[in-house]
Structure 1
């Protein structure tokens, strides 16, 4: 089957490789690793995911429902703020419920069933994240309770949760744990579990998984707690691409812009927000002598829907393919239909090599989001 354009294509073989590594870490460290939907919620791949991990974390009622329906388990749930009208359904379908503030703990504690484990999100105030937009560890962050505001654990609280990493290594986690112990050491002796959130990019080439296992094993033994990790990127890291096609090439002011049938603002917003430059299958993000520079422009009407020059061996023209690498994690989950731009199809390249076209999007997908 020919890959339609535009289309997200997940490589099942690469996903399984990541899952095997993740499973190996959780078994060796004797911890629980669960899937964070905010990074990867392609539920058509969950039958494969369920072979290696048994749980998932949700941060909204919709994600709770997805966990129940497609992972087949109750979710570990953390919301920045719970809605009064949604809380009862959320907690009824969660095994763990974590509060972001003491205000919300006091508001909802009497509505949490006895069999649901309660946690609090705390802020260790250390992170290696350099982009402020993505850094949750600021002393004035809205995410998590500071040590100054949490001198003792409220009734029924069994766990502490933090999430301050982003595509980080185990040595960054080690520094976070040092800060956590410095600020919340007395509370660690009182809890049953610690959820270390996501950002643990253990499937990246060169990641020291032995150091991670040793670190987690030591922390567990020292504090006599169960440990939970909930990465998103690690599951889908380098497991698939976004296939697009050049529609036109325009030249103004001495610069050529290849306009493709996708969009950064609609399909790859982190390219504009972070910002970051994705790698290409068939081009270079850095200058190559003798190659031809082109800006890449999305098909939306937003003036800023473009990235500065990439280099191609031959000049681009209408009909040429542009394949953006590593577009499955934290990309598919952020897409929109702004401007009515066509949403990329979704496909899985199976272990057998066959292409399984999972979904194509049309007018009703655009219309039904509006009123």
Structure 2
């Protein structure tokens, strides 16, 4: 509800809305902010369809499906498991979809290329092609890293045109995903201390991996650190990167540095703005990073600083 409302208020348009499960008490409020609503299951559709149909403005309803194909290797980020919770598998669907379902949605990619999408489309058509004649749209989800330098956009256009040629009545929707936030900002951290135990040096930083960059521990994902090697290199000084929270596992394994680190040094964790903006907590009362802009002339403009009142008010 909060994301759909933010889109409506800040971008001036109604959202293509999806949730793995909608809260019954919040669902009616969602309608004012949505042009499309996609349900995760036929159960959810049956529970809420009458509310949508009775709304004062038309809202297109869709169903998320699971093509059971993905090239995402990390299980935490793979939404296409046959036992997964995201979307209906073909085996669960009847011979015909309810008439008021106008679209199908799949999302099985993560920072992927057009060749992965091509294979997903083939799996989607093989499993769900019988439903396509009755539909108005197909949403192919996000995870298309179109802004990466080596992304083959010509091939993407060819893939989409071929799909459109096979199904000319369908509107094709792609979600921008991380492509619009690719390499848009870094997280600047500072070395507070250097500790050494059992022959392992740890650079203690003023940021927290569990609070500010949870994907680095959950996936795990190793961010690029400016001027450092992601893995130990012969002849370099190696350090674990330690977070500032009290969680024992709040650290990343060793990076290699050409020069020894010193207390007070800055470390730049590249391409982390999309994590520090939306996936953070104030666990342990750790200081939340500022949000700011470095202008082309090198000047820094502070946009938001978080303090005690933000921490105190977070839980009432």
**TM-score normalized by the length of structure 2:** 0.95
Per-residue deviation at 1:332?
2.6
CA distance in 1, matches of 2:67, 2:206: 43
Q: Is the 8 A contact 2:212 2:275 kept in 1?
A: no
Asked if residue 218 in structure 1 is aligned to residue 158 in structure 2, the reply is no
- Relative distance call for 1:226 and 1:354 in structure 2 (3 A) is farther
Match of 1:365 in 2: 310
Per-residue deviation at 1:133?
1.4
**Aligned pairs (5 A) from 1:60-75:** 61-75=1-15
Per-residue deviation at 1:348?
2.2
Per-residue deviation at 1:198?
0.6
Match of 1:255 in 2: 200
CA distance in 1, matches of 2:59, 2:298: 43
Query: Of 97, 104, 111, which residue of structure 1 is paired with 2:44?
Result: 104
CA distance in 1, matches of 2:282, 2:10: 24
CA distance in 2, matches of 1:311, 1:162: 40
Match of 2:278 in 1: 333
CA distance in 1, matches of 2:252, 2:44: 42
Per-residue deviation at 1:350?
4.1
CA distance in 1, matches of 2:231, 2:280: 26
Asked if residue 181 in structure 1 is aligned to residue 121 in structure 2, the reply is no
Match of 1:147 in 2: 90
- Deviation string for 1:316-366 (max 9, x for gaps)? 121100100111234431111000000001112345654332101000111
Partner SS state of residue 240, structure 1: coil
Match of 1:317 in 2: 262
Asked if residue 208 in structure 1 is aligned to residue 152 in structure 2, the reply is yes
Q: Is the 8 A contact 1:147 1:183 kept in 2?
A: yes
Match of 1:233 in 2: 178
More RCO (CA 8 Å, sep 6+) = 1
CA distance in 1, matches of 2:269, 2:199: 25
CA distance in 2, matches of 1:196, 1:163: 6
Asked if residue 93 in structure 1 is aligned to residue 33 in structure 2, the reply is yes
Runs of at least 5 residues in structure 2 that lack an aligned partner in the other structure? none
Match of 1:128 in 2: 71
Q: Is the 8 A contact 1:233 1:330 kept in 2?
A: no
Q: Is the 8 A contact 1:345 1:359 kept in 2?
A: yes
Query: Of 62, 65, 89, which residue of structure 2 is paired with 1:119?
Result: 62
Q: Is the 8 A contact 1:269 1:331 kept in 2?
A: no
Match of 2:241 in 1: 296
Per-residue deviation at 1:290?
2.5
Per-residue deviation at 1:216?
0.8
Partner SS state of residue 46, structure 2: helix
CA distance in 1, matches of 2:252, 2:76: 19
CA distance in 1, matches of 2:154, 2:225: 31
CA distance in 1, matches of 2:51, 2:43: 14
CA distance in 1, matches of 2:19, 2:253: 36
CA distance in 1, matches of 2:276, 2:80: 23
Between the two proteins, the alignment pairs up a number of residues equal to 311
Partner SS state of residue 314, structure 2: coil
CA distance in 2, matches of 1:122, 1:152: 14
CA distance in 2, matches of 1:294, 1:115: 57
Q: Is the 8 A contact 1:232 1:329 kept in 2?
A: no
